[in-house]
Structure 1
Amino acid sequence: MVGTGAGHTSAAFHDAYHPYLDRVWAYRVAVRKELQDRTFSPAAFGWDAWDGKDRCPICRDELTVGA
């Protein structure tokens, strides 16, 4: 769905985005570790997690609406 042009605010894009982002950051951390560079965590950027849900306006709205 995303590959066929789903918009960035669509459910198809949103559902694929967070798992993808989480994996990209896990890969970056693994490469840094393999290259014996300093590792880092989401906290280094002021984030709660790599998946970006804490910074996602869609997720935050869902949390607000569902509260």
Structure 2
Amino acid sequence: MRAALDSMEDPILHLAVHLTLVGALREGEVAGLTPEDIDFDAANGMGTFTVSRSMQRVQKDTPVRICW
């Protein structure tokens, strides 16, 4: 995990992969996160995140939809 994270230069990709690994999030849950879902200052500086929506593709040829 550390080697994969260290090799990433894009901070958004790094955060998405990190949340996926440490939070055991599914692909759609990470894709559904918004900046409001992440609080870097919570829990005495440890940070928290809330999964309140996910994205899913119902068919390959249809656009992605957000599930609430």
Scaled to the shorter chain, the TM-score interval is under 0.3
Give the structure-1-normalised TM-score: 0.25
Higher strand content, 1 or 2? 2
Structure number with bigger Rg: 1
Give the structure-2-normalised TM-score: 0.25
- Structure scoring higher RCO (CA < 8 A, sep ≥ 6) equals 1
Higher helix content, 1 or 2? 1
